[in-house]
Amino acid sequence: MSRLQKIGLVAFSVFVAFAVTFSYMTKSQFIKMPEKPWHMQPFIDADSLTEEYIFKYEQFDSRKLIGQFADSSRVTVSILVDAWGIPFDGNLLAEDFAIFKDLPHRELLHHRLANRTRHAEFAELRIPGDSTRPHDGVYLFGGDSLEYGRNLYMDSLGYGVRLFCQKCPDSVMAATLDSVLAAVAVDSASPVKNVAWTTQNSRDGDCAKLHATLRLIADVARRHPEARFIIQGTHRPILGDPKIRRESFAHWVPAVVIN
């Protein structure tokens, strides 16, 4: 065997040994491959409620709640709470619902087909009726009217009056909702029967922000027993802490019906 052949054989042997060793180490605990960033990690499509939830709460399919709970004799207030989902830990949801404990209400679990706020608005806020119905609903949002194209499609859902407030927190929008309901209550000739609001402070999944928004809603509901409130989450948390997203059911949201 020539010297050149010997060098080639040694080099090949070293390459094989390195390849085998590297393959072993990458599959073992010696080298831990970095995880993908949270926004690139796949969703866990945990879609089956636990027995605890099934036995404790009413469940409703994906049909819109406004069609099942709207009361034609009073104003219906539909509120979508952004990123309010159902956590695997039932104690956490119980804390959310406890905010409404002193109000006459029903606690529900509602099936949501897609994890997008725009989907929730189309699915839940459309005022019942055909294309000839009057567009006399009032819609509130504390952000840009161009976001998701709300300035265009909210009218098609039946909301002829759209109140947008650029960069306004939920506290400001709750006060606006209170004012709208007060004005409707004292005007017996008012044609308004539907008011809707999409919140946004809790969109990052933060529990403290969520509870603050739910308390604002509860306060408005206490001041307006004449109205029917249908409150529900848009979808499970997607932004913010990935742990919260991964520990929430994929296609279920909480809902509360007051009065």
Give me the sheet containing 252-258, strands edge to edge. 58-60, 105-111, 252-258, 228-233, 76-81, 194-198, 138-141, 161-164
Domain boundaries, the chain: 3-33, 40-258
pLDDT at 254 > cutoff 90: yes
CA distance 223 to 201: 22
Angle between helical axes of 207-223 and 90-98 (0-180°, round to 10): 30
CATH of segment(s) 40-258: 3.40.720.10
pLDDT, one tens digit per residue, over 205-243 is 899 999 999 999 999 999 999 999 999 999 998 876 777
pTM above 0.85, yes or no: no
Residue whose pair of structure tokens reads 């989902």 in the numeric block: 85
Instruction: Give the pLDDT mean for 184-211.
Output: 93
